[in-house]
């Protein structure tokens, strides 16, 4: 039987209404089969601050605003929770105009490398290409903390392989392991 419309792809499935299970269950096609992608933000010590699930084939760049808006760190002495980081470090997937505008709007420094095509287009345009992006290579070295945080999540077999059918159940497992990471560090 032929489909008349494509299946939902790249849809942010479960970041606002956790009690409604989406049609795609945050499952997408990857090289290894069907799986999900965890988008998360962490602090300098690798402890997760916020995370969102999405399908594997979904673009990372579209999930960036949702992850940054989900950050909320309570203050120890009371008061309003902190929800704006000083700096954000990401890889080439997060260097888009929309994400740059979001970071400028919130007055957050962004440290991410640029794809080669963006650099080439800026050089090709010459003076009309805008000002060159300042890239701090020393600050960017701290991005390895995010990759190490991902490897901490992958230590738990059920997160690494995604045995759960429902996205809500998988998200609960990720939340449980995130709280364990906070207890260990």
What was the pLDDT predicted at 23? 63
Q: Which of 41-45, 69-73, 126-130, 173-177 has the lowest mean pLDDT?
A: 126-130
CB 78 within 8 A of CB 112: no
Q: What is the pTM of this model?
A: 0.72
Domains of the chain with bracketed CATH: 28-184 (3.30.420)
Residue 71, pLDDT above cutoff 60: yes
137/89 Cα distance (integer angstroms): 11
* pLDDT-derived band at 123, boundaries 50, 70, 90: confident
CB 12 within 8 A of CB 63: yes
Residue 83, pLDDT above cutoff 50: yes
117/33 Cα distance (integer angstroms): 29
> Is the pLDDT higher at 140 or at 176?
176
Q: Which of 9-23, 74-88, 107-121 has the lowest mean pLDDT?
A: 9-23
What was the pLDDT predicted at 16? 52
């Amino acid at each position: 039987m032929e489909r008349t419309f494509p299946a939902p792809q790249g849809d942010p499935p479960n970041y606002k209404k956790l009690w409604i299970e989406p049609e795609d269950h945050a499952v997408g096609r990857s090289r290894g089969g069907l799986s999900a992608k965890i988008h998360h933000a962490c602090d300098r010590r690798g402890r997760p601050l916020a995370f969102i699930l999405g399908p594997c084939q979904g673009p990372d760049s579209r999930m960036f605003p949702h992850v940054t808006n989900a950050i909320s760190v309570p203050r120890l002495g009371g008061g309003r929770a902190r929800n704006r980081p000083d700096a954000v470090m990401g890889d080439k997937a997060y260097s888009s105009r929309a994400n740059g505008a979001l970071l400028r709007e919130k007055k957050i420094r962004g440290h991410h490398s640029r794809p080669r095509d963006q650099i080439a287009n800026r050089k090709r345009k010459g003076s009309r290409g805008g000002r060159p992006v300042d890239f701090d290579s020393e600050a960017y070295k701290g991005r390895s903390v995010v990759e190490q945080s991902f490897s901490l999540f992958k230590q738990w077999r059920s997160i690494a392989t995604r045995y759960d059918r429902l996205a809500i159940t998988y998200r609960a497992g990720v939340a449980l392991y995130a709280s364990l990471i906070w207890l260990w560090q």
